[in-house]
Amino acid sequence: MKKLFLTLCLATSILMLASCVSHVLKVEQQEMYSLYYVPFRQSESLAHLDSEATLKFTNDDNLPVIDGATALFPVYCSFAEAVYPSDCNVEYFIRFSGTNWAYEKLMSGEDEIIFVAEPSKEQKEMAKERGVEFNMYPIGCEAFVFIVNARNPVESLTLQQIKDIYSGKITSWRKVGGKWKKIRPFQRARNSGSQTAFVKMMGKDFDLIPPETHKKLTFMDGIIDVVSDYENHDNAIGYTFRYFLRNMNKNPDVKMLKINGVEPSVENIKNKTYPLTGNFYAVTIKGKESENTKKLIKWILSDQGQELVNKVGYVPLK
């Protein structure tokens, strides 16, 4: 009996430790990127205006608490450095939660503005259950990209070929101009920004194959690590956002595919010839916007706010 008790205690301890390690890894992944973009501390990593910002908050103002997706850290941190006071409580007012937790904190009232891709179906349903409604303000454009190992000879796929790969109809790279190798299609975690964009792209009635499980896919950069030959996955395909791959997680072992023969360049995002483009947003809760929240969003949509979107490396609305 004593032996059984000790065994159960050990098993419980292992499960608790595994849960803690998973949580710590998620926190460390967000903190790793946030360290590069903390306003007033890592100014060299942020974009700056050519002139003084037309909006300036002080510590006497009710500063909006802002948060957002990993790939948008550089954008909203650049906004904060331009208009927030340099001696504000950065840790409190500027947060780095990632898409899923940012939506959760917005709905619970902890955050006031989050900078993210549009919400997933589950996040919309959760908002409805809680009796809240999202205000969605488009503030810039971005490309959703598919990535493969740099040694993969395939350079372009059609949208239909991608759908066939992720539905299990195409299972070999040979079918799309590559080698005789099985395709390993990786996906991100549910409710992450890139997974939501992926599901939207595939369409409502699409029969998606079950995702391959991998411990690294919890993180924004995990899918890039896997495709770049992590554990010999040189036959993998995955997806991310163009900016994140180009500017935040540069990896010479992966390459972006053309879609329908069109490269995901800034010019092709602007002229909409690249087929997988979409907006990213400043999101608030309807009826809960303070005056300063409204002022900040108005400024972000002004010429100066859009100047920063452009200087960070995203595509502005105008």
Quote the pLDDT of residue 31: 52
Pick the residue with more confidence: 10 or 95? Answer: 95
- What's the pTM value of the predicted model, to 2 decimals? 0.79
On whether the CB atoms of residues 269 and 243 are closer than 8 A, the answer is: no
Q: How confident is the model at residue 234 (pLDDT cuts 50, 70, 90)?
A: confident
Quote the pLDDT of residue 217: 42
Domains and CATH numbers, the chain: 25-141+280-312 (3.40.190.10), 142-277 (3.40.190.10)
On whether the CB atoms of residues 207 and 259 are closer than 8 A, the answer is: no
Quote the pLDDT of residue 62: 95
Give the C-alpha distances (Å, rounded to integers) separating 306 from 58, 74, 159, 184, 280.
22, 14, 30, 39, 13
Q: How confident is the model at residue 280 (pLDDT cuts 50, 70, 90)?
A: very high
Give the separation between CA 82 and CA 56, rounded to whole angstroms. Answer: 8
| Average pLDDT of the segment spanning 176-195 | 78
Q: How confident is the model at residue 213 (pLDDT cuts 50, 70, 90)?
A: low
pLDDT in tens, 71-124: 899 999 999 999 999 999 999 999 999 888 999 999 999 999 999 999 988 899
Helix (H, G, I), strand (E, B) or coil at 308: helix
Q: How confident is the model at residue 41 (pLDDT cuts 50, 70, 90)?
A: confident
**Res 165 pLDDT > 90:** yes
Quote the pLDDT of residue 260: 97
Give the separation between CA 196 and CA 281, rounded to whole angstroms. Answer: 14
For residue 202, what are the contacts with CB-CB under 8 A and spacing of at least 6? Answer: 163, 166, 208
Task: Tell me the percentage of the chain whose pLDDT exceeds 70.
Answer: 76
Give the separation between CA 74 and CA 214, rounded to whole angstroms. Answer: 28
| Average pLDDT of the segment spanning 161-181 | 93
